[in-house]
């Protein structure tokens, strides 16, 4: 067996992984972050379970930490009170970014982790099957329920050789993205294997599995080997180590070989993590801003590397350089070894160890600026500046470019050795003593920013609708439900719903509310790979609130498709993608017999104003049940 099979088989509760159908797995650990967590816990509360039923649940606060106005702070208080009541560990704002912290302090090889954040696969760096999902799926897992996924196909990414100086893990994952792109990978898990694996430390492995999210795969995983053991031992968690390696004759559905020694510094050009170029091809082009950090590249290894490169030098006059570390542990280590002083002296702006710039919460670049960033997404406008050109690069490229003020490939620096002992301080993880048990009768704190979760209604027999919006290919959940300045409304669905599709068409909300008032259903028409990116279930929940009953797309990405079903929106695909061209925004659509189509084989003939066309929703029995009663919450 390969690593994926070993872990999935040990957690299987339903289905047969050998068949091309849905399987159900037991979830050992869950994580949430504040921006998706409030909704996840409101839904958990609505399930009426007295305390968590899985092994470990951690609630992190890392996204909404800017606290302009009362909303973010209201959310934090709510999350802390929920954690105490239900036996969840609470990570205070300032402790760090969920994925970095979970890797450091909780992730265990051979276990399953479900997180309400698409970069949860960071845990794959220590041999964990770590999957991103919508908040309500996390709520179900905390209540002891299974998580369902299509039985995965496994691709071996066979690594050989060793990286050259100046080249690092970010360049490896950009190479994989160059080969496989950001669409068409739904249902796959990428398993890293081969002799090159042993040359990569845990933070590097985690960078690679983290950004596997951009491929749209279910998750990515490395084996758990001596390097993993060393990392866990240095974190004082040697007891959590188990060895999990593929059998000698392990089989895979496909294979891709990468010679690490041949990789050169790479970049993802605007506006997709799949637009891959080499740094050399941009040599000399001026850069205005450089942001280092995010859950992809914010480990001690990464920031120490940057400090070594900036030592005794100063960043170019006309660039702005910001650094956000992944955790308090990282900051403490940099403070202790003098790196922090080097970075300050070099003219870097030291930011809070949180998501911050990555989610467009602050540090937006200037109009038309070129911004080099070590994070994982460069969707148009995500930085907060629509006209900015964001390139994703390694910490080495970022540091070399900070010094020159232009795109510069790094010549490298002395490799940072894996620390023998990390300074462990868990003081900002609260409620460890009541973890798993909770405090019966504890009060939940609910400020005015915490609104109740709306419930879906049963799917009607027929639907009379209208194309409320027609969008193109690769529409991300950042297009559907923008973050940045709007992020603070995450706990208030009626308010947040005002911004659905704001980056594409700010009139969407009003149009939908008008239709809803007239009893006309809203339908979204989209191209390929609809719903890429973030796990935010609000991209389904808010459209549900606006009366959206169906999405008709050429193809839909995994997490978003699951979220649509969880909120009672039918995810149809065109039988013939060419029909997409024959539909316009504003067209009337009649979906007669939609309920019996969902009950049956998912096939439906839609009557449009211009002509009729066929759509299909391929659904498991479980998914059919959810859709028929109006979503997961309505089904309970």
C-beta of 193 vs 534, nearer to ligand MIC: 534
- State the binding partner of 181 from ligand MIC, ligand SF4, none, CB within 5 to 8 A by kind: none
**CA dihedral sign of residues 138, 143, 148, 154:** positive
Distance CA 356, CA 293 (A): 10
- 119 sits near ligand MIC (criterion: CB under 6 A): yes
Question: CA 215, 135, 562 angle in degrees (round to 5)?
Answer: 55
Residues that contact ligand SF4, how many (by CB under 6 A): 11
C-beta of 477 vs 491, nearer to ligand SF4: 477
- 211 sits near ligand SF4 (criterion: CB under 6 A): no
Whether the upstream peptide bond of residue 271 has omega within 30° of 0, thus cis, is yes
C-beta of 327 vs 529, nearer to ligand SF4: 327
β-strand pairing of 612-616 with 603-608: antiparallel
Distance CA 101, CA 185 (A): 28
Shortest Å distance, C-beta 536 to ligand MIC: 3
Q: Could you tell me the two tokens for 249?
A: 């004759």
- 358 sits near ligand SF4 (criterion: CB under 6 A): yes
> Quick one: which segment of 46-54, 507-515, 529-537, 606-614 binds ligand MIC (CB under 6 A)?
529-537
Q: Could you tell me the two tokens for 353?
A: 């160890």
Q: Could you tell me the two tokens for 557?
A: 């990405």
Question: CA 114, 392, 63 angle in degrees (round to 5)?
Answer: 45
- 209 sits near ligand MIC (criterion: CB under 6 A): no
Q: Could you tell me the two tokens for 362?
A: 């602050």
> Quick one: which segment of 83-91, 117-125, 196-204, 341-349 binds ligand MIC (CB under 6 A)?
117-125
Strands (E), 231-329: 254-259, 266-268, 276-278, 289-293, 320-324
- 210 sits near ligand MIC (criterion: CB under 6 A): no
- State the binding partner of 35 from ligand MIC, ligand SF4, none, CB within 5 to 8 A by kind: ligand MIC
C-alpha distances (whole Å) from 16 to each of 12, 183, 387, 428, 617 are 8, 26, 48, 41, 22
Q: Are 71 and 422 in contact (CB under 8 A)?
A: no
- 97 sits near ligand SF4 (criterion: CB under 6 A): yes
Tell me which of 23, 483, 526, 542 binds ligand MIC, using CB under 6 A.
Answer: 483
Which phi and psi (to 5°) does residue 214 adopt? -70, -20
Shortest Å distance, C-beta 534 to ligand SF4: 7
Residues 372-391 contacting ligand MIC, CB under 6 A: none
Tell me which of 6, 85, 108, 119 binds ligand SF4, using CB under 6 A.
Answer: 119
- 138 sits near ligand MIC (criterion: CB under 6 A): no
Shortest Å distance, C-beta 379 to ligand MIC: 9
Distance CA 531, CA 547 (A): 18
Distance CA 447, CA 38 (A): 12
C-beta of 1 vs 351, nearer to ligand SF4: 351
Tell me which of 294, 339, 385, 410 binds ligand SF4, using CB under 6 A.
Answer: 294
Q: What share of the chain is helix, strand, coil (3-state, %, to 5)?
A: 35, 20, 45
The total number of residues shown for the chain amounts to 636
> Quick one: which segment of 20-28, 175-183, 191-199, 531-539 binds ligand MIC (CB under 6 A)?
531-539
Distance CA 137, CA 147 (A): 7
> Quick one: which segment of 89-97, 112-120, 224-232, 605-613 binds ligand MIC (CB under 6 A)?
112-120
Shortest Å distance, C-beta 348 to ligand SF4: 18
C-beta of 110 vs 115, nearer to ligand MIC: 115
Please name which of 543, 564, 546, 539 lies closest in space to residue 480, comparing C-alpha atoms: 539
Q: Could you tell me the two tokens for 338?
A: 């003098």
- State the binding partner of 536 from ligand MIC, ligand SF4, none, CB within 5 to 8 A by kind: ligand MIC
Q: Are 451 and 491 in contact (CB under 8 A)?
A: yes
Tell me which of 118, 193, 235, 566 binds ligand MIC, using CB under 6 A.
Answer: 118
Any residues with CB less than 8 A from the CB of 514 and at least 6 apart, and which?
none
Distance CA 613, CA 467 (A): 14
Shortest Å distance, C-beta 357 to ligand MIC: 11
- 389 sits near ligand SF4 (criterion: CB under 6 A): no
C-beta of 227 vs 292, nearer to ligand SF4: 292
- 170 sits near ligand SF4 (criterion: CB under 6 A): no
- 95 sits near ligand SF4 (criterion: CB under 6 A): no
β-strand pairing of 612-616 with 570-574: antiparallel
Distance CA 558, CA 565 (A): 11
> Between 48 and 77, how does the x/- string for binding to ligand SF4 read (CB under 6 A)?
---------------x--------------
- 209 sits near ligand SF4 (criterion: CB under 6 A): no
- 28 sits near ligand MIC (criterion: CB under 6 A): no
Site of interaction with ligand SF4 (CB under 6 A): 63, 97, 117, 119, 294-295, 355, 358-359, 375-376
Site of interaction with ligand MIC (CB under 6 A): 35-36, 63, 117-119, 132, 359, 483, 533-536
């Amino acid at each position: 067996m390969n690593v994926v099979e070993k872990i999935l088989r040990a957690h299987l509760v339903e289905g047969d992984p050998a068949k091309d159908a849905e399987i159900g797995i037991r979830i050992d650990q869950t994580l949430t972050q504040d921006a998706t967590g409030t909704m996840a816990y409101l839904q958990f509360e609505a399930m009426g379970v007295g305390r968590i039923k899985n092994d470990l649940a951690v609630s992190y606060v890392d996204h909404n930490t800017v606290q302009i106005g009362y909303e973010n702070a209201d959310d934090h208080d709510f999350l802390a009170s929920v954690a105490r009541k239900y036996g969840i560990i609470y990570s205070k704002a300032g402790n760090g970014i969920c994925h970095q912290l979970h890797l450091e302090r909780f992730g265990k090889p051979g276990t399953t982790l479900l997180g309400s954040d698409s970069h949860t696969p960071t845990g794959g760096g220590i041999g964990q099957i770590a999957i991103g999902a919508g908040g309500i799926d996390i709520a179900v897992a905390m209540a002891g329920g299974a998580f369902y996924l299509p039985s995965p196909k496994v691709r071996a990414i066979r690594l050989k050789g060793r990286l050259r100086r100046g080249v690092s893990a970010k360049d490896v994952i950009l190479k994989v993205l160059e080969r496989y792109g950001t669409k068409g990978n739904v249902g796959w898990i990428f398993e890293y294997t081969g002799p090159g694996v042993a040359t990569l430390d845990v933070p590097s492995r985690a960078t690679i599995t983290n950004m596997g999210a951009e491929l749209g795969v279910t998750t990515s995983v490395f084996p758990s080997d001596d390097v993993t053991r060393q990392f866990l031992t240095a974190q004082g968690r040697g007891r959590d180590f188990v060895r999990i390696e593929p059998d000698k004759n392990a089989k895979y559905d496909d294979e891709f070989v990468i010679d690490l020694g041949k990789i050169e510094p790479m970049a993802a050009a605007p506006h997709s993590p799949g637009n891959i170029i080499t740094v050399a091809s941009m040599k000399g082009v001026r850069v205005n801003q450089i942001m280092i950090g995010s859950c992809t590249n914010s480990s001690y290894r990464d920031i120490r590397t940057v400090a070594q490169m900036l030592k005794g030098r100063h960043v170019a006059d006309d660039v702005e350089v910001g650094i956000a570390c992944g955790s308090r542990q990282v900051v403490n280590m940099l403070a202790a070894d003098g790196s922090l002083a080097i970075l300050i002296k070099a003219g870097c702006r030291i930011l809070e160890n949180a998501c911050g710039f990555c989610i467009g919460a602050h540090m937006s670049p200037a109009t038309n600026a070129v911004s080099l960033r070590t994070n994982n997404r460069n969707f148009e406008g995500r930085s907060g500046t629509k006209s900015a050109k964001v390139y994703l690069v390694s910490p080495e490229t970022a540091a070399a470019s900070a010094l020159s003020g232009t795109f510069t490939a790094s010549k490298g620096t002395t490799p940072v050795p894996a620390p023998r002992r990390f300074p462990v301080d868990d003081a900002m993880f609260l409620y460890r003593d009541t973890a798993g048990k909770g405090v019966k009768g504890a009060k939940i704190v609910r400020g005015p920013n915490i609104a109740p979760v709306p419930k879906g209604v049963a799917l009607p027999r027929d639907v009379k609708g209208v194309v409320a919006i027609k969008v193109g290919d690769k529409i991300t959940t950042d297009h559907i439900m923008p973050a940045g300045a709007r992020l603070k409304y995450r706990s208030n669905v009626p308010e947040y719903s005002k911004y659905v599709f704001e980056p594409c068409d700010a009139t969407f909300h009003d149009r939908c509310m008008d239709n809803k008032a007239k009893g006309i259903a809203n339908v979204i028409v989209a191209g390929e790979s609809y719903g890429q990116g973030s796990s935010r279930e609000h991209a389904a929940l808010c459209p549900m609130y606006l009366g959206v009953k169906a999405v008709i797309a050429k193809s839909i990405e995994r997490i978003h498709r699951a979220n649509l079903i969880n909120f009672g929106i039918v995810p149809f695909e065109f039988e013939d993608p060419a029909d997409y061209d024959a539909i316009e925004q504003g067209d009337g659509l009649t979906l007669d017999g939609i309920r019996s189509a969902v009950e049956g084989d998912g096939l439906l003939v839609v009557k449009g104003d211009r002509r009729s066309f066929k759509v299909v929703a391929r659904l498991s029995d479980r998914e059919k049940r959810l859709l028929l009663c109006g979503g997961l919450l309505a089904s309970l």
